[in-house]
Amino acid sequence: MNQALLARHPRLQSGFTLWFSALLLVGLFSILCLRGVTNACLALMLVSSVAWLLIARPHLPPRQWRWALLGFVAWPLLVALQVGTMPGVQPRAFDAQLRFLGSIPVAFALASLPGVNARVLRIGSSLGAIAALTAGLLFMHQTGEPRAANPFTNAIPYGDIALLLGVLPLYGISRWRQPSRVDVLAMIGALAGLAASVLSASRGGWVAVPLFAVLLRMPWRAWMSLLLLILLTGFLLAQFDPMFASRFQAASSDLQLLAHGNRDTSIGLRTQLWQSALHVFSQHPWLGVGKGLLKPTLETLAQQGVISPLASSFSHAHNEVISSLAETGLIGAVFLLCLYVCPALLFWRYRNSPLPQVAGIARMGLALAGGFFIFGWTEVLFIVAMTTSFYAMVMVTLLGMLAAELRRHNVYPPA
């Protein structure tokens, strides 16, 4: 750390801390209600991080922490290689992945700015969940649509991100019987996020709820009460909410229609897309057919009668890993998994830390990585700038906060 410069300008670090906190708050609050604002906040965080790193020259976190960012480097670089060497792969295929590379300096900057702490993230995320529910209700009222969403994204990513915005702040609660004001806001945000997810009727996101519940730090009696509350809520929704009940009934109906040869249902279309993508992967096992080139291949398969014309209208396979296998091959799928696994391994190590701040950050990181991985079973989220920016911004923020907290408590020395 450039201590001499910071000594001459004592307000410099506090100014950067305030600036990063403001960007994080605005980015999380606006993710589902104001188009493009989160992308702008992430870009400003990148520029500010480079400036801070050049000015302060802080010590680097240890090697074990840096390995958590492997996927943020490897996967975008593979896509960049495809853009430069494979015919037909357009530069726009690199657009979403560029956000992973651009977010890396943010992690290093926040690792040396302990003032940007989990409290900031929790407030921003809770307010974001409340704003998301408000935006979803307005969308339903103005458009007459039965499912909550917003004008710039469909119901699936809307519901997934709203759910995460709601649950992430809960992991910072260490005293459930004596909650602070931020804890109370987190509980309100959790209810808003869950409500937005239910109104979106996005079934894929609900699969992650058991993971989110298991990661909560609470006494076993409180945990059992929460489990009963979730089951009771689900039962009541199934009995009295027509949209919620219809989504489960549709799954059974889709399977029956698929058995009778109707492939153009929600489950039938996904089955066609998964099988077709795996077929493409078998033809191009190492580097895939090329990022963004699955759709032309699907159109060819539709002309051959392998899949229905409706299935060929999709640009991806509605599964993150299977799409990656088809477009970037086995190497790309491994690099994609590194986006989830590498940070999750680091967070797993500190999930039960005796330091409440460290344990809360670690569990938030596990929920983010695990949640996005589960969401990716039924949707491709990393082709959309908004969802990619959200994952990149929150993940590097959590990694930076973890490093700052560990260094503040002298858990590991600077590398």
Per-residue pLDDT of the chain (415 residues; tens, 9 = 90+): 666 666 566 788 899 999 999 999 999 999 999 999 999 999 999 999 999 999 988 888 888 899 999 999 999 999 999 999 999 999 988 888 899 999 999 999 999 998 899 999 999 999 999 999 999 999 999 999 999 999 999 999 999 999 999 999 999 998 888 899 999 999 999 999 998 998 998 888 989 998 998 899 877 777 777 677 767 776 666 666 666 666 656 656 666 666 656 677 878 899 999 999 999 999 999 999 999 999 999 999 999 999 999 999 999 999 999 999 999 999 999 999 999 999 999 999 999 999 999 999 999 999 999 999 999 999 999 998 999 999 999 999 999 999 999 998 887 654 4
Q: Is 63 exposed, middle or buried (0-12, 13-18, 19+ CB in 10 A)?
A: exposed
pLDDT at 7: 59
Dist CA 240 CA 290 (whole Å): 46
* 3-state secondary structure at position 153: strand
| DSSP β-bridge partners for residue 150 | 153
Say which residue the tokens 């801070």 belong to: 52
**pTM greater than the 0.85 cutoff:** yes
pLDDT at 59: 84
Dist CA 137 CA 145 (whole Å): 10
Long-range contacts of 359-364 (CB under 8 A, 24+ apart): 359/174, 359/217, 360/118, 360/171, 360/172, 360/173, 360/174, 360/217, 361/118, 361/398, 361/401, 361/402, 361/405, 362/402, 363/171, 363/215, 363/216, 363/217, 364/118, 364/121, 364/168, 364/171, 364/172, 364/398
pLDDT at 200: 93
pLDDT at 353: 94
On whether the CB atoms of residues 252 and 298 are closer than 8 A, the answer is no
In sequence order, what E strands does 129-258 have? none
| DSSP β-bridge partners for residue 153 | 150
Identity (one letter) of the amino acid at 334?
Answer: V
Dist CA 132 CA 125 (whole Å): 10
pLDDT at 11: 84
